[in-house]
Structure 1
Amino acid sequence: MSKVYFEKVSYITELLASGQYSQVFVLVDENSKEYCYPILKEYLEPHKLIEISSGERNKTLSSCNLVWSALTNATADRKTLLINLGGGVITDMGGFCAGTYKRGIRFINIPTTLLSQVDASVGAKTGIDFQGYKNHIGLFCEAEAVLVDSVFHDTLPQKQLISGYAEMLKHGLIANQKHWQDCLDNGSNSFGNEIIQQSVAIKEEVVKADPTEKGLRKILNFGHTIGHAIETHLLGTSSELLHGEAIGIGMIAEAYISKSKGLLAESEFQIIVEELRKIYSSPKIEKASLNNIKRLCKQDKKNENGNLNMSLLQNIGTAVYDIPVEEEVIDQALAEIL
């Protein structure tokens, strides 16, 4: 697994010195270029910038073409290093571009949003969206290293911190009741090194047990079947949600399904809903659109043989996976949240 270094963006100097790289490129979007690149730049040796447009709507093959073209035009060889500086879109897509360019060059992730620090940049998943389906094309590809530094939090609006908070709460719900409570005690206003390390450690433990998502790693997808579908459905609209905002709503829906399937006690369901509702509000979605959300759910990567499978909760701190879920139960869950 990739080594994660905390509170040490300056460690990039040592990594570059030991890597014997022929060229160094830094992948940014307009936001990370303006707010985060100046923090990193002082630690870099000569390098080239590659800039793409920000946002989930640009997590596509077209953006990959820009990256691959920039590398090709600069005669980048297989000893080239790509540094991905940005949020989850940058680390997901940058890793995918690095993993496929000349059958693989090395890359380092420097996640700048809370969401990417606790989730997207860790675990070797890379990829892009395709034909409206989230993370539909991708591969498992390990970064050389991941540098997590809370210095970048000062560049973020509160909305971005709340988005990352959802994944931290999820880590507690699926695997560690104490972390769930620690997150609630900490609140959603500030995130220090210790609680971020806790969250990353939970994900790393699950990934280490199941690197390519054949079994246990599926629990990390709690909240994501419905959350991804809602996120994708609203992409490009006035009601568009950040990833974590959609996952917050998805967790409410899938907690409801957990209760409906007899897995989760009513008392714990009420606790989960009460806490998540304090932070994540349901978007306005017309009833006529619910079939499209269900259609998107059917493209989820956990599904098998035409059956819709979900990762659900047994209690706060324990999740199960590969649970078949009927369409009418999804209808009930959507009605519950929307």
Structure 2
Amino acid sequence: MSKVYFKDLSYIKELLASVEHSQLFILADENSKGHCYPLIKDYLEYHQVIEISSGEKHKTLDSCNLIWNALTNATADRKALLINLGGGVITDMGGFCAGTYKRGIRFINIPTTLLSQVDASVGAKTGIDFNGYKNHIGLFCEAEAVLVNPTFHQTLPQEQLVSGYAEMLKHGLIADQKHWQDCLENGYGKFSNELIQQSVKIKEKVVEADPTEKGLRKILNFGHTIGHAIETHLLNTENELLHGEAIGLGMIAEAFISRSKGLLSDQEYQIIIKELGRIYNSSKIEKASYVEIKRLCKQDKKNQNGELNMSLLKNIGQAVYDIPVEEELIDEALNVIL
């Protein structure tokens, strides 16, 4: 599993010295290039920047073609090294492109959003969206290292911190009641290295037990079956949601399903929807979306043999996976958040 370092940005020099490479490339979008690249530039040796457009709507094969073409035109060989500097789209897509270029070159993730620091850049999942389906094409591919530093938070709008906060709350809900409480007490203003480390350690522990998502790792998808469907449905519309905003709504809906299935007590359900409902707003979703959201849920990777499966909560701090869910229950859950 990739080593995650919580170090000053100057530690980049040590990472580069520890990974033998022939050429160095930096993958960034216009935001991370403008705001984050200047913070690390002085710690880099000779390199080339590959810039792509920001946003989930650009997490596609077209963007991969730009990256692969840039590497090919620079005559990048199999010992080239790619640094993915950006949020979850950059680390997901950069890892996928690195893992497939010439059957694999090495890469380092330097996540610049809270979401990518606590979730996307850790755990070896890489990939892109395809034909409107979230993370439909991808592979498990380990980064050489992940460097996490909250300095980048200064470059982020508040909504990006709120987005990342959803994944931190999720880690608490599925595996660590104390972390859930610590996150609530912290709020979504400023995040310490310690709190980020807590969240990353929860994910690392789950991933180490099940690297390729054959079982336990599925609990990390709590809130994601419905959340991904909502996120995908609103993509490229004026009501587009950030990933964490959609996952926040997905967690409310799937907490309802957890209670309806007799897994989660009503008392804990009320606590969860009260806390999440204060933060994540469903005003952008209309009831006309029900059919489309359910259609997208059917493409979720946890489904098997035509059965729609979810990862649900047993209590705050414990999740279960591969729970069959009826379509009618999804309708009821959507009624809760709409």
2:189 maps to which residue? 189
1:199 aligns to 2:207 (yes or no): no
* Counterparts of residues 271-290 of structure 1 (less than 5 Å): 271-290=271-290
Residue of structure 1 in register with 2:313 after alignment: 313
- Is it true that 1:48 corresponds to 2:38 in the alignment? no
Shift of 1:8: 2.6
1:38-117 superposed matches below 5 A: 38-117=38-117
2: CA distance between counterparts of 1:290 and 1:186? Answer: 34
1:254 touches 1:312 (CA, 8 Å); kept in 2? Answer: yes
2:286, 2:15 → 1: CA distance? 50
CA distance in 1, matches of 2:265, 2:332: 17
What is the root-mean-square deviation in Å for CA atoms of aligned residues? 0.6
What SS does the corresponding residue of 1:146 show, helix, strand or coil? strand
- What is the match of residue 247 of structure 1? 247
Partner of 1:265: 265
By how many angstroms is 1:297 displaced? Answer: 0.2
Matches within 5 A, 1:163-174: 163-174=163-174
Separation in 2 of the partners of 1:109 and 1:286?
A: 37
Deviations 1:183-208 (A, max 9, x none): 00111111010000000000000000
Q: Structure 1: which amino acid aligns with 2:337? A: I
Q: Is the 8 A contact 1:7 1:150 kept in 2?
A: no
Asked if structure 2 preserves the Cα contact closer than 8 Å seen for 1:239 and 1:283, the reply is: no
Query: For 2:20 and 2:285, how far apart are their aligned partners in 1?
Result: 52
- Verify: 1:221 aligned to 2:221, yes or no: yes
Structure 1 runs (4+) greater than 4 angstroms displaced: none
Aligned residue for 2:139, secondary structure, equals strand
Q: Figure out how many residues of one structure are paired with residues of the other and give that number.
A: 338
Following the alignment from structure 2 to structure 1, what is the Cα–Cα distance between the partners of residues 253 and 95? 31
Contact 1:7 1:193 in 2 (8 A): no
Deviation at 1:249, TM superposition (A): 0.4
AA partner of residue 285 (structure 2): I
Task: Give distance in 1, aligned partners of 2:291 and 2:240.
Answer: 18
Cα deviation for residue 85 of structure 1 reads 0.1
Give the deviation of 1:287 after TM superposition: 2.2
Q: C-alpha displacement at 1:239, in angstroms? A: 1.0
What's the CA shift string for 1:244-272, capped at 9, x where partnerless?
A: 00000000000000000000000000000
For each residue in 1:31-61, what CA deviation from the matched residue of structure 2 results, as whole angstroms up to 9, or x when unmatched?
A: 0000000001010000000000000000000
- Aligned residue in 2 for 1:300: 300
Does the CA-based 8 Å contact 1:225-1:300 persist in structure 2? Answer: yes
Q: What is the letter of the counterpart of residue 310 of structure 2?
A: M
Tell me the amino acid that sits aligned with residue 15 of structure 2: L
Q: How does 1:4-23 map to 2 (within 5 A)?
A: 4-23=4-23
- 1:330 and 2:330 correspond: yes
Give distance in 1, aligned partners of 2:20 and 2:142.
Answer: 18
Q: Following TM superposition, by how much is the alpha carbon of 1:20 offset from its aligned partner in structure 2, in angstroms? A: 2.1
Once residues 22 and 92 of structure 2 are traced to their aligned partners in structure 1, the CA distance between those partners, rounded to angstroms, is 23
Helix, strand or coil for the counterpart of 1:305? Answer: coil
Deviations 1:303-329 (A, max 9, x none): 000000000000000000000000000
- Alignment TM-score, normalising by the size of structure 2: 0.99
Secondary structure, in 3 states, of the residue corresponding to 2:252? helix
Q: Do structure 1's residue 130 and structure 2's residue 138 form an aligned pair? A: no
Cα displacement (A) at 1:10 = 1.5
**Structure 1 residues not aligned, in runs of 5+:** none
TM-score by structure 1 length? 0.99
Ranges in structure 2 where 5+ consecutive residues have no aligned partner:
none
User: Percent of counterpart pairs with the same letter?
Assistant: 80
Instruction: Render the CA deviation track for 1:199-254: whole Å, top value 9, x for unaligned.
Output: 00000000000000000000000000000000000011111100000000000000
**Matched residue of 1:126: which SS?**
strand
Deviation of the 1:16 alpha carbon: 1.2
Shift of 1:285: 2.5
CA drift of 1:286 comes to 2.8
Alpha-carbon distance in 2 for matches of 1:251, 1:124: 23
Give the superposition deviation at 1:289.
2.0
Paired with 2:19 and 2:278, the residues of 1 have a C-alpha distance of 46
Separation in structure 1 between the aligned mates of residue 203 and residue 18 of structure 2, nearest angstrom: 28
SS in 1 for 2:43: coil
SS of equivalent to 2:196? helix
Q: Partners in 1 of 2:78 and 2:284 — Cα distance?
A: 48
The CA distance in 2 between the partners of 1:233 and 1:296, in whole Å, is 8
Q: Distance in 2 between matches of 1:173 and 1:317?
A: 5
